[in-house]
Amino acid sequence: MRLQFYNTLAHQKEEFVPLRPNQVGMYTCGPTVYDYPSIGNMRAYVFADTLRRVLEFNGYKVKMVMNITDVGHLESDGDEGEDKMALTAQRERKSPWEIARFYANVFLQDMERLNIKKPSVLAWATEHIAEMIAMVQELLERGYAYETSDGIYFDISKYPEYGRLAGQKLEDRLAGARVEVNEEKRHPADFALWKKAPKEHIMQWPSPWGMGYPGWHIECSAMGRKYLGDLFDIHTGGADHIPVHHENEIAQTAACTGQPAARYWMHNEFLLIDGGKMSKSLGNVYTISDLMERGFEPLSYRYFCHNAHYRRQLNFTWAALEAAQKGLLSLRRLVQGSAKQPTGAGAAERAASFREDFLAAINDDLNLPKAIAVLWEASKANLGRELYELAREWDQVLALDLCTGAVEEDGPLAREDLPPEVRALVEERDAARAEKNWTKSDALRQQLQEMGYVVKDTPQGTEIKRA
């Protein structure tokens, strides 16, 4: 079936055609490991993982590369401020290597909790300094870069297509940039490829330009090229990466290869908290562990993400997560309950039609909210065991542990909600217990169990639940 994605580079939805038949090369901008990953960050990886799963569901073999940024990402996405890794290292009085290991492990654990598959290649920036230096040299030789007293910069005026991704004209970018603090730069929007390190700088490597460290953007260009080649299929990241990080990445790679690194550039929109930005000062930067501490299952968050299209902002509230958890648990109960049922009459034909709807939804630019709606429809269509089969197939994309995960537990039933014959037995049992006739009360419990009810005597009285 036709597969379509919204390509930020083309500013429209396009049919997906891979470079090589049946194979897809995909690069996902990974985290900067200087802090706990927020649930906002994790939305970006749930999106990338879902994309990968949709491709695999369509029969493609996916090579997915993700970087771990452990050097060079400064406080602002431009070239200002300190290295984020160095700042945390100073604050926590640890080496940047320890900081990177620690937060990368937290990230990998959160990925696992959310059923995000491991990338085929996990590329650490500090292990690819040689490739980055080589690419900076290539840019200098090709005349796209120049040296100043504090580093090597990319000259955006040499790349006329600069701004294509964000839909900005180069002239506007050249005219509208902020007043620059670094007067040696030819243009304020020129960006650092390599920074020369002052003696006290915490992470530095030898280079043809003395000791220094790479710019953040060159990392992704160099690692993407190393593992996926000059041109690969898909590049993903959050929407905040469009105007700076990805624009710069395209410029660097295209200046070396003549190609914009990837053919399809895909971006997830932001997660908001209570309608606004997450921020440390507001104390609303939640992590997956925070959700778990409040009694939520991590996959409820994945389900919550699926209920909004990835190109729309998604507003997180605790009440919305609560509703998502309820929805997921009851979906699982319906699915798991169907495992032992016979196949309903005409179920196979109806299941085939649901299959088509599900595939059409995910293949239309990952319309997960629609796909979830199809699952709900199927769960109410008396398919019997077919529902279980559908859920097993679809969970390859949804990754919600539909067939194996915890289910919603039934609460105790009120006496007046019991069928009259069941209620009569319960009351008979109450009377037997009052007379301390344990033999009779046990026999009645057994009888109720055979009718599908569990009877439990608690200090608050007798509780009846469905088995």
Among 237, 260, 384, 405, binds ligand AMP (CB under 6 A): 237
Q: According to the binding rule CB under 6 A, does residue 7 interact with ligand AMP?
A: no
Nearest to ligand AMP of 220, 328 (CB atom): 220
Nearest to ligand AMP of 277, 456 (CB atom): 277
Among 6, 9, 25, 41, binds ligand AMP (CB under 6 A): 41
40 binds, among Zn ion, ligand AMP, none (CB under 5 to 8 A by kind): ligand AMP
Query: For residue 399, what is the DSSP state?
Result: -
Q: According to the binding rule CB under 5 A, does residue 299 interact with Zn ion?
A: no
> Between the CA atoms of 255, 258, 259 and 260, what dihedral angle is there, to the nearest 10 degrees?
30
Give Dmax (Cα) for the chain: 98
Burial bucket for residue 319 (CB in 10 Å: 0-12, 13-18, 19+): exposed
The strand pair at 232-238 and 23-28 is best described as parallel
Of 388, 359, 389, 385, which is closest to residue 374 (Cα–Cα)? 359
Question: What SS3 state is found at 304?
Answer: helix
Nearest to Zn ion of 53, 73 (CB atom): 73
Among 241, 306, 332, 445, binds ligand AMP (CB under 6 A): 241
Q: According to the binding rule CB under 5 A, does residue 383 interact with Zn ion?
A: no
Among 56, 150, 240, 393, binds ligand AMP (CB under 6 A): 240
Give the shortest CB-204-to-ligand AMP separation in angstroms. 22
Assess contact for 300 and 279: CB atoms under 8 A. no
Nearest to ligand AMP of 269, 395 (CB atom): 269
Question: What SS3 state is found at 271?
Answer: strand
Ramachandran angles phi, psi of 239, nearest 5°: -60, -25
Question: What SS3 state is found at 331?
Answer: helix
* Partners of 268 in the β-ladder: 238
Nearest to ligand AMP of 279, 353 (CB atom): 279
Size of the site for ligand AMP (CB under 6 A): 15
Tokens representing 366? 């990952």
Q: According to the binding rule CB under 6 A, does residue 139 interact with ligand AMP?
A: no
Assess contact for 62 and 52: CB atoms under 8 A. yes
**Spatial CB neighbours of 67, under 8 Å, sequence gap ≥ 6:** 27, 29, 30, 122, 123, 124, 125, 219, 220, 223
Among 44, 220, 371, 400, binds Zn ion (CB under 5 A): 220
- In whole angstroms, give the CA distance from residue 363 to residue 366: 6
Tokens representing 332? 């699982």
> Between the CA atoms of 334, 340, 345 and 346, what dihedral angle is there, to the nearest 10 degrees?
70
Of 356, 295, 285, which is closest to residue 322 (Cα–Cα)? 295
Give the shortest CB-409-to-Zn ion separation in angstroms. 43
Give the shortest CB-28-to-Zn ion separation in angstroms. 8
Give the shortest CB-40-to-Zn ion separation in angstroms. 16
31 binds, among ligand AMP, Zn ion, none (CB under 5 to 8 A by kind): ligand AMP
Nearest to Zn ion of 232, 301 (CB atom): 232
Among 7, 8, 32, 252, binds ligand AMP (CB under 6 A): 32
Of 28, 39, 35, 133, which is closest to residue 84 (Cα–Cα)? 35
Q: According to the binding rule CB under 6 A, does residue 72 interact with ligand AMP?
A: no
- In whole angstroms, give the CA distance from residue 390 to residue 331: 13
Which of the ranges 129-137, 185-193, 235-243, 438-446 carries the binding residues for ligand AMP, by CB under 6 A? 235-243
* Interface mask toward Zn ion for 171-210; x: CB under 5 A: ----------------------------------------
Give the shortest CB-338-to-ligand AMP separation in angstroms. 35
CB atoms within 10 A of CB 127: 11
Among 72, 96, 212, 238, binds ligand AMP (CB under 6 A): 238
Among 271, 328, 359, 391, binds ligand AMP (CB under 6 A): 271
220 binds, among Zn ion, ligand AMP, none (CB under 5 to 8 A by kind): Zn ion
- In whole angstroms, give the CA distance from residue 163 to residue 248: 9
Tokens representing 465? 């639940």
- In whole angstroms, give the CA distance from residue 34 to residue 331: 37
Which residues would be at the binding site for Zn ion (CB under 5 A)? 29, 220
Which residues would be at the binding site for ligand AMP (CB under 6 A)? 29, 31-32, 40-41, 43-44, 237-238, 240-241, 268, 270-271, 278
